[in-house]
Amino acid sequence: MSLYQLQKLIYDVNRNPERRDAYRADKAGFLSRYELTPGEQAAIADLDVRQLYSYGVHPLLLRPFTLLHRVSNEDYAKALAGLE
């Protein structure tokens, strides 16, 4: 579990246009820059919103990150249905 690194990746993509471009150009290469577990890597690679939320990613990092991927409010809510 490396929640700090996972959130750092998301923060960088959200807030830094150069990092965002790098992420979009080569997702696998970008993921390797961060110290992530295989599970965390997969959750980013697959944009597994429910898993990322369950790992403890801050909701105000996660929601903007999913907005960059054009996840609607409805789909976001559906992904989190039943969670605390």
Partner 1 sequence: MPIVFACAASHAPGMTAWTEAAPQEQRDKILGSYHKLGDMLAASKPDVLVVISVEHWANFFLNQMPTFCIGRAQYYDGPVEEWLKISKTRVPGDPALGAQLLDVCLNSGFDPAFSDELLFDHATMLPLHFLNPGMTVPVVPVIINTLTTPMPSPKRCFELGRVLGKALERQPRRIALIATGGLSHWPGEAKMGKINVAFDKQFLETLVNGKRALLAEYSHSAIDKEAGSGGHEIRTWIAVAGALEDWRASLLAYEPVHPWATGCGLVAFNP
Return the residues of window 52-81 that contact partner 1 according to CB under 8 A. 53, 58-64, 73, 76-77, 80-81
Q: Which of residues 35-54 bind partner 1 (CB under 8 A)?
A: 53
Collapsing DSSP to helix, strand or coil, 60 comes out as: helix
> CB–CB of 84/56 below 8 Å?
no
- Does 82 contact partner 1 by CB under 8 A? yes
**Closest separation between CB of residue 11 and partner 1, Å?**
5
Q: How far is CA 64 from CA 1, 7, 37, 61, 68, in A?
A: 22, 12, 22, 6, 6
**Shortest Cβ distance from residue 32 to partner 1 (Å)?**
20
Report the alpha-carbon distance of residue 27 to residue 22 in Å, rounded: 8
Which residue ranges make up the site for partner 1 (CB under 8 A)?
Answer: 4, 7-8, 11, 14-15, 53, 58-64, 73, 76-77, 80-84
